[in-house]
Amino acid sequence: MIEIYCESIIINTLALGCLWYLYFFLYKQCVVDYFRQNMFERRDSLFDEVADGLTSFDHPAYGTLRRTMNGYIRFAHQLDLGKILVTRLMASYNPALKEDIKEFQAQIDGATAGLPPDVRIKIEEYRKKMHLQMAKHIFFASPIMCIMILSFALPVSFVFCLTGSLKRNIHNNINRLESTALASGY
C-alpha cells in the first residue's frame, strides 16, 4: 500500500516538474519572443513612416515613442501581471512614483502637442497598438491568466464552436429549403 503512495508521489512530482518546465522555460520564452517580434515590427513600421515624412527623426514624439518601444523590447521578460499589480500598489503609496507616471504622460502630451492633427493621430495609433500588444503579452505571460484561459475560455470557446456549427447546419438546411422552394417556384 505504501509503495502505491510512493509511486503516486513520484509520478505527481515528475508531472508537476514537467509542467513547471513547460511553463517557465518553453511557454513563457515563446510568449516573450512573440511580443518582442511584434514590437520590433511595430517599431520598424514607425521608422518607415517617419522615413517617408510623417515627422522628423529628431522630433520628441518619435524619440519618446521609439524609446518606449525599445524599453518594452528590452524588458519584455519582466512584464507580467504580478509585477504590474505590485507596481500599481506601490504607486498608490509612493508619491514619487505617482509623480514619475504623471511626468511621463506630460512628456508624451508635450511631445505630440506641436504636431499636425493627422500626425498626432498616427502617433496615438502607434501608442494604442503598442498598449494593446503589451496587454496581450501581460495576459498570456501570466500564470493566473493561463489558468483562467484553461478553466474558462476554452470551455466557452468550445460552446461557441458548437453553437457556430449548429448555426451553420441550420443555415445550410434553410439554404437547401430555400433552394428547393426557388426551384419549385419556376
Which phi and psi angles does 75 have, rounded to 5°? -110, 25
C-alpha cell read off for 41: 515590427
Tell me how far apart the alpha carbons of residues 132 and 122 are, in angstroms, rounded to a whole number: 15
**In this predicted model, what pLDDT tens digit does every residue of 44-81 receive, in sequence order?**
999 999 999 988 899 888 888 888 888 888 888 888 77
C-alpha cell read off for 3: 509503495
Length of the chain as a residue count: 186
Question: What is the amino acid identity at position 62?
Answer: Y
Please state which of the ranges 104-108, 116-120, 180-184 shows the lowest mean pLDDT.
180-184
Average pLDDT, the chain: 78
**In this predicted model, what pLDDT tens digit does every residue of 117-129 receive, in sequence order?**
899 999 989 988 9
Q: Give the pLDDT confidence score for residue 185 in this predicted structure.
A: 43
- Biggest alpha carbon–alpha carbon distance for the chain: 80
Tell me how far apart the alpha carbons of residues 166 and 174 are, in angstroms, rounded to a whole number: 12
Q: Give the pLDDT confidence score for residue 162 in this predicted structure.
A: 63
Q: Which of 131, 101, 134, 114 is nearest to 32 (CA)?
A: 134
